[in-house]
Structure 1
Amino acid sequence: MFSRLFATALVAFSLSLSAPTKVMADAGDALVGGIIGGVIGGAIVNERNKKRVVTRKVYRQPVYSAQREENRQVQTSLNYFGFPAGSPDGVLGRNSRSAISQYQAHLGYPVTGYLTDYEKSFLLSSHNRAVAGGPVTHQQIAQNPMGTRGLLTMYRDQAAGVAVATAPMAVQPQVNIVPAAPAPAAAPQTDTMALAATPAPEAPGSALPNFLGQGDGLSLASHCNTVSLLTNTNGGFTGIDKMTDASVVLNEQFCLARTYAIATGEELAAGVQGVGTNEIAAQCQAFGPVMKDHVASASLRSRDEVLQGVSGFVLSTGMAPQQLAATAKVCLSVGYRTDDMDVAIGSALILTALGEQVYGELLGHHLSQGFGATQRRDLAGPWYDMALGALEAGQPAVFAPGQPERTKLMRVAANQSGGAQAGTMTAPLQPASALPSFKIGE
């Protein structure tokens, strides 16, 4: 009996000793479980916090939209004043930076490609002022040789209190009215006296009149100012869905290409070391007499015959093709800016002969519209076809590169443009003078 009670007591005692151990083990498991749970919970919280950060970035979108809208206004203003920034999408990319640089160079600001607050404010306010000016603005553009860019110069000078800038605008109408005064009728007497006194010098000085020449009397700059006014009045460039007159489209695209050619050349000229703008313009005048024969042949011969002659001339220069192409682009800009059609067409011919066939579009425009060449729409067609074919084959666009639909528009307009006028005048060959050569700095 005693032994049975003793055994029972031992069992009870052992149970009492093992219970605390189990309790402690359970407590340890609970502690470890709490730590692991805390780590996992912290990871979940951190993950949620990461998601919240992403949500906050999306929430800032309205601020970005406001900035983008301002960028659109900047691009629209640059395009209006003749600095091609491309489609106003609100993203200031390469074209916009290039346009900003041209705007800064035009007004004498440091050329950085990034607008300061003052430069941006002046640009936007000038655009608003020009649009609000209505007919007065149109008259100012038509009278200014720089077109819409001249408005910026005028506004800048007026803001600086320079009265001289406004004087030419006021004087020109007076000059147009004064010719009605025939007071110089006595002048013929003095002229006849001068002729009688010195007949020999007078004879070579008076050139024979040429009323049916190659269109040298037509000003492309003035024409493009008028086209720009009509384009702005009509709400922008004519699209393929709204085209009713092919000649209107070709005029708009001609002037647009001219603007891009000027901008590209000015950008390259900025990299010419040690040569000023006036010196470059003076040297580019050499393209006139050198290329005059080839320019004249464009109104008389087929595209392939003209390019064959220009290719032979290119080989005779001894210049590296890359250097000659860069020089031609600079002089193409000068030719259009100074309204020298021999320089402009000659430069375009050289670029086309060097393999940049997209520049053949310019020859099509000149022959189609009769600027610097006899109006020959029959000869213009092959030039258009070559340039557009090059674009369709993948050659990079040099005019309005951000508008791929332009190729189709040009194709339709060129096909619809009909009519031909035969040219019969020829020009004597002249010896070529030295071409300019510019080293473009990187």
Structure 2
Amino acid sequence: MIFKSISTAFVATAMVVTPLEVHAGDGLVGGIVGGIIGGVIVNEANKNRRTTTRRTTKYKRSTISSSQRAANREVQVALNYFGFPVGTPDGAIGPKSRGAISQYQAHMGFATNGNLNDWERDLLVQSYYRAQAGGALTAQQIASDPRGPKGLLYTYRDERLGIGAAAGGQMAAASQAAPQLGVAAAGTTAVAAAVPQFGAEVASENALPSFMAQGVTQVSLASHCNKISLVTNSNGGFVTQATLQDPAFALSEQFCLARTYAIAQGEELVSKVSGFTPQQISQQCEGFGPVMQEHVAALSLKSREEVMQGVSGFVLGSGMSPAQLAGTAKICLGVGYVTDNMDVAIGSALILTTVGEAAYAELIGHHLASGIGAAQRMDLSLPWFDQGYLAGSDGTSQVFAPGMADRAPLIRAAAYTAAGRNVPGAATPSAPVPAATLPAFVVPGATSANP
């Protein structure tokens, strides 16, 4: 029913909104108009967009509450302390403060959008107060860390997440990122909070027990890719077929590379839609998360054929053409990766794969192989990788990094190696022949080696 209402709004808008201009010559006009511009955006857009935007912005700046200004000042003071300069803390979050917030987010491996979610803000501000209360101990920690005050943020974050100090520099521990909780802009949801936990004061009799609820965090793909990028740069470039030694790392490199291309593609398509802000489009894309959540969850349990069958039913029941869904999904795929909303990203990739864009099946394989946005299932990832390989091996349908000639076979080799299986079609090394089975001929006149 949820999707029915969203779909109805999408289709109705496509029929009503004729003034919308879409500058695209690649056949995505119907997809973008029918899939992206929902009733909410249209209603807001028709309220004198050009004149009210300036008034609304000015009104908000002039009527900011004293409590909000004080909270903003806390953030600015903390940013200055940890080496992300904003200037004089005045409680007004302007471009300079947004830039400092983005620097902080990039440093910590969060999605860099200049807007703090609850978890990021709490970590920043509480770390500042903790550092101030630490006195001499804080000064000693800063002096012993080459990163200075910024190193404290890593220490305090790892303690919150239960990551040991000894493992802080290892990729296994570093790949765990802060949970994105309670963020409307990022579109994430606090799933762990809804799971019943033992020890709570009130518990439903029919609630399922969860022994792993404590300490469960949502892995951030943005954080993961930031760390992978650092290692790639230090290695002097990407892993190739000739240098393949760590298949899991090679897959992570290609996953993050595909993510970058998906974001760029989405931003390019958004730029061709005039009259609506990226923020408005992002809000509409958040609708993909709830309606696709069931199919995203099925990835960790069902075969590729079963999942695609379920998504096919979704597509047929949506009332929208495959072209409309594909145009929408390409935009929302980029939005999902930018906002670190895995339900939106995976849901968009599933739709693209199901409507015939088979190259996007690679992304599903990566999510299952890495355990980001889905359970880590190498066995279930291989059919998705194979589907993406078949679409991109000839180079004609390669969506991600088309200039990298050996990318498709590299991903396939890394995936099968990581799963402990032989790559289909690859030559299997023959076992050595025991010496006892070799023929022995007596040559006249030859001397024996053993007298």
Please state which structure has a larger fraction of its residues in helix.
1
Question: What TM-score results when the alignment is normalised by the length of structure 1?
Answer: 0.50
TM-score by length of 2: 0.49
